[in-house]
Structure 1
């Protein structure tokens, strides 16, 4: 049976990234919550916060282990599936790839020390200090790998001679025009998503009737993070829209089904596109909103897709993922605001079952937004693997065993998708928070 190598390679890369991004996102976001929670526990001499940090750190160790496996697979697949790309541009992205690996080792070393030195210091502040390198390492790892993706969207730092990338400037390649918005968005969404995942788990226990102060404190610290990072995520989303308008107008136009160049361009929400006539049905258009998003001016001209060759159009279905990302982000921000309105208005209850239900579904929705955002970003770059310089079809392998690789890695991901939740559930169900608090002589 004949298979399209390009399609299979893209599918395998998609599956790996989609699976890895779950663990990578939490791996970046969770250390900052562990760090802040332990600090609050030390400052307030509150054992509930100290236990929160301990329990989150245990789960984090398992997630990091799986993230390492899937991250290593991505590195291998870059060379195995996209050898022509690596041959041409490997020396341009080699520095951030090396630094990303270094950042991980830096994080792993201090994580091991952090985990095995609980209660080993007379002053707990010294133990907390060990969490700072873990936070730095995890966020630095995200920073460096994001610069690689940014480079693929706005390549810089080289000249082309006879089809070769010469006069390489690695730092220019790293700090390309896409880097600020890409890195900022990756970090803030990781912190936001992790906050909602943790809040979702806590809301589940509260809905089950576990109304102990431990769970209420856990929910509150998570929702503080959700509120803060939802604000920065919305702000970074605005910056990202302006970046696309300047450097990748075809991606913005495809995401908004904006075909004709015009002023006072409307922002399209929802809708169904007729692929033959390119007419949109059932969509909601907000007048001049796209012009404002792109240039902050209602009368600004926004370039339409018809100004680009049809064979270089990004897939138009990215509009749906763009909408999912936006709607979900706004919903999560609204839930965060409502929680704190209920917290500060005495007549309201921030632990109302309906609000807890929205917080509970906020975790899966935040992860859905992460997946949708990455699909919109990566698919929206097509048909380029390196925008303006190399088509995806020109970077793919010519080997014939991609289908076998797809089956092999799909089996691995399925096994991990089953094992990881089972391990986490068993880890925390065998030693519940109530049991640990009781052993420590702490009154709930």
Structure 2
């Protein structure tokens, strides 16, 4: 039974933990920037609505950070418990970025605590605003260092391999491998994009439910503009990611595109199903698009999956993860662009319930795109845990209790998810914006 297979259950438990943690990690990276922008606009415009956005978002952010600490700690423990052979081989390399990730988190948490508990201690909000800079830097660096670990697993370097052991280890060189630029930039851009769209979801939902308060309209307008900027950035970085895969992980790109034969002028395939002969049926083929994605030229030759040994080919299901990610990304660009242009030109439909429901859907869909992107990244590296060096089967534990651990952690994550929702609801339902606006004093330039 699969439930008794330690390798399979180790994979399932790892993807369960990563899928749950990435929700909180995305919020942890993206929300500080939203808080900074809101507070800065509030100070510049002397607008208490934006000041209140920063205050309320920071309050909710603390809750998600607390849960993110738990799940992040679990990931570190599971690396050692579920993948002991991998940690024995590469632990002394990834230990440095993992340590730096913890340091970055503490750096963020210290200034976040000071920011939260000194809100009313600064009459000059500009001085209080400065506390957000290390919070955002810490959040970004935390994302950087943990993504470096994933990048190393995809593009290992900074060592010599002698008789199956890593020697002449240079952790700094390993941390600056070729996968880092595209992976880190994509993680940051999508975190900012998703955080903006989830805040837009809340604002749009409040307006749909009948709120006429300017607070929600301003929040919606600001977050949709930010979301558009980073959605476009994610699309551009995604193009660079395709070119990285074509050069360094061509088997992953070929599997994601169901591209079996090496050919030039290669089309990009979206959706569809494969028949028994690996022919795509019901798919949408975009002529020349894969050649452009891979090499920037419509006539470029793209390596096919048949060029690789069958045992080294990634699972073909990553094609659907790619489809989900791209489809949602395009959808969010279209919706946010329509909103921005519509507001500028006075198009009334962007203020209608139908269009606002599309915005409400955008937040959860953006999280789904984040999940699909990580599933593609992790499953697409199969069969390797350390590409070209160690397979997943070689790295996994042989313990018979992984199946039981899966059930226990599933229960834990369920409790954490429910607890997060309950606490956030109690925080905001008992403190409506009208009540909080009464407690805020106007911002005065130069006041200390």
- Aligned pair 1:315/2:315, yes or no? yes
Q: What residue number does 1:185 align with?
A: 186
Distance 1:151 1:347, change over 3 A: closer
Residue in structure 2 matched with residue 302 of structure 1 by the alignment: 302
Aligned to 2:150: 149
- Say whether 1:388 aligns with 2:388: yes
Q: Distance between the aligned counterparts of 1:427 and 1:354, measured in 2?
A: 29
Corresponding position: 1:204 with 2:212: no
CA distance in 2, matches of 1:198, 1:312: 41
TM-score by length of 1: 0.98
Instruction: Name the structure 2 match of 1:399.
Output: 399
Map 1:320-339 → 2, pairs under 5 A: 320-339=320-339
Q: Which runs of 4+ in 1 moved over 4 A?
A: 439-442
Q: Is the 8 A contact 1:343 1:349 kept in 2?
A: no
Aligned pairs for 1:356-375 within 5 A: 356-375=356-375
> Which stretch of structure 1 is more off in the superposition, 201-210 or 431-440?
431-440
Secondary structure of the residue aligned to 1:268 is strand
Secondary structure, counterpart of 1:160 in structure 2: strand
Residue 350 of structure 1 and its aligned partner are, at CA, apart by: 3.5
Shift of 1:284: 1.2
Cα shift at 1:396: 0.4
- Superposed CA RMSD in Å reads 1.2
Determine helix, strand or coil for the equivalent of 1:89: helix
Offset, 1:286: 1.1
Q: What is the TM-score with the length of structure 2 in the denominator?
A: 0.97
Report how far residue 438 of structure 1 moved. Answer: 3.6
Number of residues of Structure 1 aligned to a counterpart in Structure 2: 441
CA distance in 2: counterparts of 1:297 and 1:124, whole angstroms? 51
1:394 counterpart SS class: helix
Contact 1:185 1:236 in 2 (8 A): yes
* DSSP-derived class of the 2:351 partner: coil
Aligned counterparts, 1:87-102, within 5 A? 87-102=88-103
1:28-427 matches, cutoff 5 A: 28-274=29-275, 276-348=276-348, 350-427=350-427
SS for the counterpart of 1:119 is helix
Q: 1:439: Cα distance to partner? A: 4.4
Aligned to 2:446: none
- Structure of higher RCO (CA pairs closer than 8 Å, 6+ residues apart): 2
Tell me by how many angstroms 1:189 deviates. 0.2
SS at match of 2:113: helix
Q: Please tell me whether residue 19 in structure 1 is matched to residue 20 in structure 2.
A: yes
SS at match of 2:382: coil
Cα distance, 1:195 vs structure 2: 0.5
Q: Is the 8 A contact 2:30 2:192 kept in 1?
A: yes
Gapped regions of structure 1 (runs ≥ 5)? none
CA contact (8 A) 2:48 2:440 kept: no
Task: For 2:123 and 2:268, locate their aligned partners in 1 and report how far apart those are by CA, in whole Å.
Answer: 58
Secondary structure, counterpart of 1:125 in structure 2: helix
